[in-house]
Amino acid sequence: MKAAKFRFFSANIIIVFTLFALCALVFYPTVDAASTKNPAYYNGNRDSDFISVMINVYGGTEFIEPMLEALTSRGVTATFFIGGCWADDNNDTVKAIRDAGCEIGNHGFFHRDHGKLGYEKNLEEIVVTDKLLTEILGEKPSNLFAPPSGSFNDNTFKAAASLNMLTVMWSKDTIDWRDHDGPTIFKRATTNAEGGDFVLMHPTEATAKVLPQILDYYAAVGLKVVSVSENLAL
């Protein structure tokens, strides 16, 4: 009799804990995601026809205007991940990016190697940049964070998650910061392009010149250029 009661009690305890765990997964997905090994987003919805151009900015100010012209003239948008120390010296350009209808994300303040930083330093880089961008724009930027050079560790994810921010990487890299060749950049941005892709670029002379061709190619193959947030259906 005692054994039967114990089994009944144990079964109920298991059920209660199982229900609690399921509720935690449903109502607290951010906490669960932060505990995974790599919760970064490398692409959006693969079943869509969306593709995103993500432009990481710590320089190349003079090339941003022609890139914005290429985007706006085609009625599409990109996500600019902006470095804080650059934004501090280029307030008007930050506003111009926003006014062109583009999304603004966080790219840290000093282009540090986040993979070598502890939690507090990871947090500081993100928070200071977020506050600066909010001050410049008069509104908060997106909740997207792209770690410089794609470098991260668990502290990076935890810091971003504590601020309810998503860590974003890429699925295609044009490596335009190193290879200043239009045809090469075009090839890397378009080869096997598919729905959900995040295509990484930077404001360089070669990229600014070839961006119109890249955007026209996406349109020709039926891909719609949208912000990273829209690609993630946020």
pLDDT tens digits, 155-190: 999 999 999 999 999 999 999 999 999 999 999 999
One-letter amino acid for residue 28 of the chain = Y
Q: Which SS3 state, helix, strand or coil, does residue 136 take?
A: helix
Q: Are residues 59 and 166 in the same domain?
A: yes
> Strand 79-82 vs strand 103-106: parallel, antiparallel, or unpaired?
parallel
Burial of 21-36, coded b for 16+ CB within 10 Å and e otherwise, reads eeeeeeeeeeeeebee
Domain identity same for 118 and 192? yes
Q: Are residues 10 and 121 in the same domain?
A: no
Quickly tell me which residue has 């111009």 as its tokens: 96
User: Do 77 and 9 share a domain, yes or no?
Assistant: no
Predicted confidence band of residue 234 (pLDDT cuts 50, 70, 90): low
Domain region containing 26? 2-31
Beta bridge partners of residue 80, listed in sequence order: 55, 104
Rounded alpha-carbon distances, angstroms, from residue 146 to 52, 85, 162:
14, 15, 15
* 16 and 123 in a common domain: no
One domain, residues 21 and 45: no
**In angstroms, rounded to a whole number, what is the distance separating the alpha carbons of residues 95 and 92?**
5
Both 27 and 46 in a single domain? no
Are residues 120 and 6 part of one domain? no
Q: Are 111 and 83 in contact (CB under 8 A)?
A: yes
Task: Give the per-residue pLDDT at 37.
Answer: 64
Domain total for the chain? Answer: 2
Q: Assess whether 147 and 189 both reside in one domain.
A: yes
Residue 18: how many other CB atoms lie within 10 Å: 10
pLDDT score at 38: 72
Same structural domain, 149 and 182: yes
Distance, in Å, from the CA atom of 40 to the CA atom of 33, rounded to the nearest integer, reads 9
Instruction: Identify the three-state secondary structure at position 201.
Output: strand
**Is residue 153 located within the same domain as residue 193?**
yes
- Average of per-residue pLDDT across 49-73: 98
Share of the chain above pLDDT 90, in %: 83
